[in-house]
């Protein structure tokens, strides 16, 4: 980030600093709250038919509460693009449990939390929904919605509804709002990838395995670092205020 900052004009720098401080404060508040977890997935690809092949969940302390390979539906293969990203192969999934077999544990895990934090939440939440549908399950945010859709579903459909009343929060969007230096045409900030965000914040996390658990741990480390920055900033402000008060006292 140092190379990016030095090219900013003063007004732009002030605006950037204000955005960054807002993210610091968000992380600080988050670390003082409970009932949230971090989730990440690896998948067979990016398309509408793709499914989750690895899912990990950790709590705010970093404890692993779920971590498993998942065998996709028959005929669903890992795409070349996905394989190059996470390094996982179809052979690796031989003997892995299916999403349906692991769903009771996944559901019980996620149902305990009010918020699920993900680095790219729209993607992972979509993949969770796609994998559920491939297993003849349907996910709903509210019981009312589940009851209505179940009553009005076409004759012959026999899927099982599950209510998951959680808030999905995208850490990538939040971080990018504070630290991205490139605006899109629609006015939104260009997303900063997880590895780049960690590097910007001086985090050395070892080999970038790009696996679900690694991404969860990297996301938590990033949130903690941002929260630490808020504390350092507040300590600095308090120190400067004390020095000013002492200077005023000496001048009297």
Residue 52 in this model has a pLDDT that exceeds 50: yes
In a domain, 170, yes or no: yes
Sequential DSSP letters for 210-221 = --HHHHHHHHHH
Q: What is the pLDDT of residue 251?
A: 63
Q: What is the pLDDT of residue 249?
A: 62
What value, to the nearest 5°, has the Cα angle with vertex 72 and ends 214 and 104?
A: 75
Question: What is the CATH number for 185?
Answer: 3.30.420.10
In a domain, 225, yes or no: yes
Residue 250 in this model has a pLDDT that exceeds 90: no
Q: What is the pLDDT of residue 240?
A: 65
Full domain range(s) for residue 26 = 2-230
Angstrom distance (rounded) from CA 41 to CA 214: 10
Over residues 18-25, mean pLDDT: 91
Residue 3 in this model has a pLDDT that exceeds 50: no
In a domain, 243, yes or no: no
The count of domains in the chain is: 1
In a domain, 46, yes or no: yes
In a domain, 200, yes or no: yes
pLDDT digits (tens, 9 = 90+) for 55-67: 999 999 999 999 9
Q: What is the pLDDT of residue 15?
A: 61
Bigger pLDDT: 208 vs 113: 113
Q: What is the pLDDT of residue 13?
A: 46
Q: What is the pLDDT of residue 188?
A: 84
In a domain, 150, yes or no: yes
In a domain, 164, yes or no: yes
pLDDT digits (tens, 9 = 90+) for 135-158: 999 999 999 999 999 999 998 899
- Cross-strand bridge partners of residue 1: none
Nearest to 17 by CA among 26, 8, 30: 8
pTM, whole model, 2 decimals? 0.87
Mean pLDDT of the chain: 88
Phi and psi at 97, nearest 5°, equal -70, 155
Are the CB atoms for 172 and 119 separated by under 8 Å? yes
Residue 234 in this model has a pLDDT that exceeds 70: yes
Confidence of residue 16 (pLDDT cuts 50, 70, 90): low
Query: Minimum mean pLDDT among 8-22, 116-130, 216-230: which range?
Result: 8-22
Nearest to 216 by CA among 25, 44, 63: 63
């Amino acid at each position: 980030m140092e190379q990016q900052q030095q090219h900013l004009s003063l007004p732009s720098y002030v605006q950037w600093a204000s955005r960054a401080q807002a993210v610091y404060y968000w992380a600080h508040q988050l670390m003082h709250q409970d009932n949230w977890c971090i989730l990440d997935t690896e998948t067979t690809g990016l398309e509408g038919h793709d499914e989750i092949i690895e899912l990990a969940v950790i709590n705010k302390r970093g404890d692993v509460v779920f971590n498993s390979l998942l065998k996709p539906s028959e005929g669903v293969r890992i795409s070349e693009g996905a394989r190059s990203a996470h390094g996982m192969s179809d052979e690796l999934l031989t003997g892995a449990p299916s999403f349906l077999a692991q769903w009771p544990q996944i559901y019980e895990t996620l149902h305990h939390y009010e918020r699920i934090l993900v680095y790219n939440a729209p993607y992972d939440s979509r993949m969770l929904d796609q994998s559920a549908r491939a297993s003849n399950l349907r996910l709903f945010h509210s019981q009312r919605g589940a009851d209505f859709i179940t009553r009005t579903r076409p004759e012959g459909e026999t899927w099982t509804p599950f209510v998951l009343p959680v808030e999905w929060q995208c850490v990538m969007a939040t971080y990018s709002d504070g630290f991205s230096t490139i605006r899109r045409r629609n006015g939104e900030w260009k997303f900063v990838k997880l590895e780049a965000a960690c590097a910007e914040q001086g985090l050395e996390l070892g080999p970038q395995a790009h696996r679900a658990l690694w991404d969860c741990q990297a996301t938590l480390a990033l949130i903690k670092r941002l929260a630490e920055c808020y504390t350092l900033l507040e300590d600095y402000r308090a120190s400067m205020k004390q020095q000013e008060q002492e200077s005023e006292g000496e001048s009297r």
